[in-house]
Amino acid sequence: MTDNVKFYLEDLEIGMRATTSMVITAEKIDIFAELTGDKNPIHVNEEFAKTTMFGKRIAHGALSASLISAVLGNDLPGPGAVFVELNLRFRRPAFIGDEVVAVAEVAEINERNGRVKMKCYCEVDGKQICRGDAGVVVKKRPTA
């Protein structure tokens, strides 16, 4: 039986990075609203959204931010890592039809306690829509 770990703590190096992406659709926004209970009309009601400063529906910030969780859990550090902290600043929204790209980069490694600080951001067309950092606990390589 394997433990499916992609990277152990000892495998990580400062500057390693990974990305994942998703195209925002009306259906994904609606599903996210249903899952979370956040049915703010700026996300789910086109007529209401037209009256806002954005002029159309916007994706939940947490929907874009959830891609950071995906890249951390699937790619870097990947399976076995435990996501324990996220600090983000939202800069602009994502709209229906936008491709959101989430990027995570190893910024600090604490070998003593197994914690890794990741620089994280999401972007659309090369412009950051949110940025911040995440704390992840990464499993050390088994010794025997």
Each residue's pLDDT tens digit, 4-45: 889 999 999 999 999 999 999 999 999 999 999 999 999 999
Query: Which of 2-6, 43-47, 68-72, 82-86 is the least confident region?
Result: 2-6
Q: What global pTM score does this model have?
A: 0.91
Nearest to 134 by CA among 41, 65, 75, 74: 65
- Helices 26-36 and 61-74: crossing angle in degrees, nearest 10, is 90
Please say whether the beta carbons of 48 and 55 come within 8 A: no
pLDDT at residue 50 is higher than 60: yes
Please give the domain boundaries of the chain with CATH numbers for all domains: 9-137 (3.10.129.10)
Task: Please tell me the distance from the alpha carbon of residue 105 to that of residue 117, in angstroms, as a whole number.
Answer: 9
Q: How confident is the model at residue 123 (pLDDT cuts 50, 70, 90)?
A: very high
